[in-house]
Amino acid sequence: MVKKEDILEALKGVIDPEIGIDVVSLGLVYGVDVSEDGDVNVKMTMTFMGCPLTAMITEDAKYAIQTVKDVKSVNVEIVWDPPWTPDMIDPELRAKLGI
């Protein structure tokens, strides 16, 4: 059975190339739902609306999730509410960055 934790771990391999930090640590992943059948739905955002890398990061996320054992299908939905802010970055990473 696919676990949410496994999906989040896979998404840690998806790096925002402009910032050089993974999408989970940046707080871009808003939700992960996994069905018993292995269907995965992820809601995530970008650091700003109109980000030119949205399609690339979304495809990277889909690919990363598909590498998780027993995943049958993947849907990544980009949402803009709530808007992303630096406060959503992992607290430990924020401290290291001095934010």
pLDDT at 9: 98
When pLDDT is averaged across residues 83-89 and rounded to a whole number, the result is: 94
Pairing, β 21-22 against β 29-34: unpaired
> How much is the pTM?
0.92
Query: For 23-62, what is each residue's pLDDT tens digit?
Result: 999 999 999 999 999 999 999 999 999 999 999 999 999 9
Instruction: Give the side-chain half-sphere CA count within 13 A for 78.
Output: 17
CATH class for the domain made up of 4-81: alpha beta
Q: How is the chain split into domains, by residue range? A: 4-81
